[in-house]
Amino acid sequence: MKEMLLSGQKVPAIGLGTWHMGDTKSIRDQEVKALQAGIQAGAKVIDTAEMYGNGRSEDLVGEAISTLDRNNLFLIDKVLPSNASKSAMEKSVNKSLKLLGTDYIDLYLYHWRGSIPLIETVETLKEIQKKGKIKSWGVSNFDLADMKELVALPGGDEVAANEDLYSLNSRGIEYSLLDWMRERHIPLIAYSPVAQGDTHAAKFEGNQTLKEIAANHNASIYQIILAWDIRDDATLAIPQTSNPDHAVDNVKALKIDLTKDELEALDKAYPAPNHKVPLDIL
């Protein structure tokens, strides 16, 4: 099973995303079961945010983990840019903690850049970290210029991770950002790692290369894509699903090792850009 280091902890390289979860009451029980099934299959990380359903996702996660051992979980949460100030951030943390039913968040991310000075956000994150309400902090939707600005700030080099959109058909961060992060041992958290089930203009379903590689491993094409996402041992992929069976299948991708030839075939089918492109954001 593939693992990676996140905030100094070894965690399975596939976690559970929760964007859009908690919004539909009729499938709430199913979504709770999907998160629990993923954890039981071997996942440890659950990723959520105060933005997701205005707290409904956090509330759903809180219900799903209420009967589980908190010590065996790694929770990621995110603060909105509008709440990333000295006066507002701790209120957001406290609300999230209450909804999650826990007294600490393992990794707290600045969701995307807003108008509040970055130095103020970093200083506030560090203050809340000292209080023990968050164990580590990081960022999300940061491109190379943002990351360089961040690490140049006092304490900015303590950033524990950067969460960006990354998938086989969304490889823009490979041009310059990803290598820069690897050199500094800053982990990547890949959201929408299977292009939201082929809805993000990926055209995975009809790709012959993916089909052949999936057949080689007796796996689905989405399991192959997830195995590709985590091929470097420094990326956490957080696919989202409301289906318990799909959650289990996603976690099973941890056991797939792609060969050099298969990786080269995927590079040819979905090439990385040879120039700088804007950061892909959903």
What pLDDT does 113 receive? 97
Domain 3-269: CATH class, spelled out: alpha beta
Task: Give the closest residue to 89 by CA, choosing from 61, 69, 108.
Answer: 108
CA atoms within 13 A on the CB side of 240: 19
Strands across the sheet containing 74-79? 16-17, 45-47, 74-79, 107-110, 137-140, 162-165, 188-191, 235-237
pTM more than 0.85: yes
By DSSP bridging, strand 3-6 and strand 9-12 are antiparallel
What pLDDT does 196 receive? 72
What pLDDT does 188 receive? 98
CA distances from 177 to 97, 164, 172, 193, 251 (A): 32, 10, 9, 17, 27
What pLDDT does 132 receive? 98
Q: What is the C-alpha to C-alpha distance for residues 129 and 178, in angstroms, rounded to an integer? A: 26
Stretches where the chain sits below pLDDT 50 are: none
What pLDDT does 282 receive? 82
Q: What is the C-alpha to C-alpha distance for residues 161 and 185, in angstroms, rounded to an integer? A: 9
What pLDDT does 202 receive? 64
